[in-house]
Chains A and B, each alone.
Chain A
Amino acid sequence: MTPDVLMPDVLVLGAGPAGMAAAIAARGQGLSVLLLDENAAPGGQVYRALQRRDAADAQERRDAADAQERRDAADAQERAGKVLLAAFAACGAEARHGAVLWAVEDGPRVFWSENGAARSAAPGRLILAAGATERPMPIPGWTLPGVMGVGAAQIALKTAGLVPDGDAWIAGQGPLLWLYAAQALKHGGRFAGIIDLAPPGVVSRALRHLPAVLRGADYLAQGLLWQRAVKRAGVAVLAAREVAAEGEGRLEAVVFDGQRHPADLLLLHDGVVPNTQVTRAIQGCRHVWEQGSWRPELDGWGNTGSPGVMVAGDSGGIGGAAAAALSGTLAALEAARQLDRITTERRDAQARPARLSLARHRAVRPLLDAMFPPRPMAAVADTTILCRCEEVSAGQVRGAVALGCLGANQVKAFCRAGMGACQGRVCGPAVHGAIAAARGVPGEAVEPFRTRFPTKPLTLGELAALQA
């Protein structure tokens, strides 16, 4: 118990690529760094359990010294992750894992829970690197046990070596879907089939232009090339427009193209969206609607409109792991300038390589965005649940709009959508999109779900342990 308020130069939230790179760069400028992360080890989602897997894969790699495999995109991504993890471990930042941030006040003043007690800090600058979550993909039956996100299955693979087996299906679209499928197959997983919900023809047309664009670009884009690898591996890939999950109390079947297939695992994916749960609760952080979700409005360094609060990585706009790390570096250099550790000229000079590289990585985004537009919320059936926590259907949300409900914050009062335990984390883009579609206006015309602190559940016991 330390009565003193912690006052690091920089507090970083999140130990994914953006957070680790920000911590490394800030330490490189002599700043003290406190990093908070919910998970047990650094890496974020993309580099989750990389050190653990390194040991597990060592034997396999020695056995199968497959030169082709060593060159593949996932391996390149893992190499980049290992370099970053090693540099982070050596950089001298204080990393606290199992730390759950739940409030940011003016100052900034940061509050979190750790080992059952609330703590706070007053950092010089706050860099939020909260990453991304999977976009909700509301289909009939998606609340049945056995229906999960592709990202969830990837975490089970990375952290514990679980592979899909038996009547396991994937449905959705986007590069990460194919990346996971390829990773799962490589580790001995089996699928009953992959239901490709991408708009017809778009992928094959775009693929012809990809290799030139993508050489050296990040894994998000390279993941596209996995689609071919998965098809070559003999997995049934079936194009469809809609899919439904059915079962009593748990998933028993997937239905598409009028046919019912037995299923005990269905993995959904419709791309990823920035995690803006914390920034939306901060006064002064404006957000813009883009690709069917919100992202905070940032300047070229990651500054938000709230003094002292910065954002780096996918939580500021989806760019993938490599772009996230680069934006973390830029944010840290800017923090050092604001804290008078380096001059503007020195900041600009040191930022130049990262800025050039970032521009290269971001060049591919418009292509990816055009290829995988989010599934339209207007097409979701009235009976399909949008808000899983409060069990609110698309029809109920549309009914609220018909009664005059104009926005996401009002819809809470009409039908409780977005008011459950997840605090709109999962359903936010879906409820928002459904309201905009029902009103016949673009997404940016509807104000975002306002989030409120505490942004993660907090017990009174934890709060009582907070030092003044």
Chain B
Amino acid sequence: MFRRTEPTDCTVFWDGAALPAKRGETLAVTLLAAGITHFRDTAVSGAHRGPLCLMGACFDCLVQVEGEANVQACMVAVRDGLRAGPQHGARDLDDAP
């Protein structure tokens, strides 16, 4: 799918699993580089989705970041130790930080 041509320098956690990352790249890129394309399940049918545009327009890369729901993975710069996971359907009010 994709292959990195530059070294990584930190670790982020996706659903608890450690992934190599490069500081400052977006979380969406970190996931794609690890071969992960399933970012969320849609609220309408539950279908799997991943990013389309990587520039903040499509809202198909929604994930949970540090407990916050519906975050665009393509707009979040990663840092060491960042914790994130997939967004399942719509945001649950009980999930509010």
Given A56-B6, A159-B26, verify A426-B54 contact (CB < 8 Å).
no
Residue pairs across A and B with CB atoms within 8 Å: the count is 127
Q: Are A388 and B52 in contact (CB under 8 A)?
A: yes
By beta carbon, the residue of chain B nearest A263 is B1
Assembled-state Cα–Cα distance A422/B51 (Å): 12
CB contacts under 8 Å to B, within A136-195, are 143-149, 151-153, 155-156, 159-168, 187-189
Complex CA gap A266/B37 in Å reads 12
Q: Which A residues are in CB contact (< 8 Å) with B29?
A: 155-156, 159-160, 162
Q: Separation in Å of the A134 CB from the closest CB of chain B?
A: 7
Contact of B54 with A249 in the complex, beta carbons under 8 Å: no
Given contacts A156-B2, A159-B29, A162-B29, contact A134 B53 (CB under 8 A): yes
Partner of B2, one of A143, A163, A275: A163
Q: How far is the CA of A189 from the CA of B26 in the complex (A)?
A: 20
Cα–Cα distance between A264 and B47 once the two chains are bound (Å): 17
Is A421 among interface residues, defined by CB-CB distance under 8 A? yes
Q: A164-B1, A264-B1, A388-B60 are in contact. Are A145 and B54 (CB under 8 A)?
A: no
Query: Do the beta carbons of A133 and B53 come within 8 Å of each other?
Result: yes
Provide the residues of chain B in CB contact with A422, threshold 8 Å.
Answer: 57-60
CB pair A148 B59 closer than 8 Å: no
Give the residue of A133, A161, A162 whose beta carbon is less than 8 angstroms from that of B55: A133
Please tell me if the beta carbons of B45 and A391 are within 8 angstroms of each other in the complex. Answer: yes
Q: Once the chains bind, are B5 and A251 in contact (CB under 8 Å)?
A: no
User: What band does the interface of chain B fall in when counting residues whose beta carbon is under 8 Å from A?
Assistant: 35 or more
- The reply to whether A146 and B33 contact each other, CB–CB distance below 8 Å, is no
Size category of the A interface is 35 or more
User: CB of A457 within 8 A of chain B?
Assistant: yes
Interface presence of A45 (CB below 8 A): yes
**B49 sits at the interface (CB 8 A):** yes
B39, CB-defined interface residue at 8 Å: yes
Query: Is A390 interfacial (CB 8 A cutoff)?
Result: yes
Complex Cα spacing A56 to B24, Å:
14
Instruction: Establish whether residues B50 and A151, one from each chain, have CB atoms under 8 Å apart when the complex forms.
Output: no
- Closest chain B residue to A44, Cβ basis: B55
CB contact list, A22-40 vs B, under 8 A: 38, 40
A264 vs B2: C-alpha distance in the bound complex, in angstroms?
A: 9
Q: Say if the beta carbon of B38 comes within 8 Å of chain A.
A: yes
Q: Is the CB of B2 within 8 A of A164?
A: yes
B48 touches A391 (CB 8 A): no
Tell me the smallest distance from the CB of B80 to a CB of chain A, in Å.
16
Given A145-B38, A251-B37, A420-B59, A152-B52 contact (CB < 8 Å): yes
Which A residues lie within 8 Å of B81 (CB)? none
A160 touches B25 (CB 8 A): yes
Complex alpha-carbon distance, A97 and B50, angstroms: 25
Q: Are A166 and B1 in contact (CB under 8 A)?
A: yes
B residues 4-21 in Cβ contact with A at 8 Å = 4-6
Mark out the residues of chain A between 271 and 311 whose CB falls within 8 Å of any chain B CB in the assembled complex.
275
* A148 & B52 in contact (Cβ 8 Å cutoff): yes
- How far is B49's CA from A153's CA once the two chains are assembled, in angstroms? 16
Q: Are A38 and B56 in contact (CB under 8 A)?
A: yes
Known A38-B75, A40-B77, A391-B47: A265·B38 in contact at CB below 8 Å? no
- Could you say which residues of chain A place their CB within 8 Å of the CB of B62? 421
User: Which B residues lie within 8 Å of A38 (CB)?
Assistant: 56, 75
Establish whether residues A457 and B49, one from each chain, have CB atoms under 8 Å apart when the complex forms.
no
If A162-B2, A391-B44 touch, does A148 touch B54 (CB 8 Å cutoff)?
yes
- Judging by beta carbons under 8 Å apart, are B70 and A457 in contact? yes
| Bound Cα distance A163, B29 (Å) | 11
Q: Which B46-97 residues sit within 8 Å CB-CB of chain A?
A: 47-60, 62, 70, 74-75, 77
A426 CB contacts on chain B under 8 angstroms? 52-53, 57-58
Closest to A187 in B: B5
What's the Cα separation between A147 and B52 when bound, in Å?
7
Check A432 for interface membership: any CB of B closer than 8 A: no
Partner pick for B39 among A145, A389, A421, CB 8 A cutoff: A145
A425 at the binding interface (Cβ < 8 Å): yes
Chain B neighbourhood of A249, CB < 8 A? 38, 48
Q: Which of B24, B38, B54 contacts A151 (CB 8 A)?
A: B54
CB distance from B6 to the nearest CB of A (A): 4
Bound CA–CA A415/B90 (angstroms): 19
Contact assessment for B6 and A160 in the assembled complex, using a CB-CB cutoff below 8 Å:
yes
Residues of B within 8 A of A390 (CB): 44
Bound CA span A275–B57, Å: 10
12 contacts between A and B (CB under 8 A): A144-B48, A145-B37, A145-B39, A152-B53, A156-B32, A161-B6, A162-B29, A163-B2, A168-B2, A189-B3, A421-B59, A421-B62
B residues near A (Cβ < 8 Å) are 1-6, 22, 24-26, 29, 32-33, 37-39, 42, 44-45, 47-60, 62, 70, 74-75, 77
Beyond A146-B50, A162-B5, A275-B57: 13 further Cβ-contacts under 8 Å? Answer: A45-B55, A134-B53, A148-B52, A152-B55, A160-B4, A164-B1, A165-B3, A168-B1, A250-B50, A265-B2, A389-B60, A422-B60, A426-B58
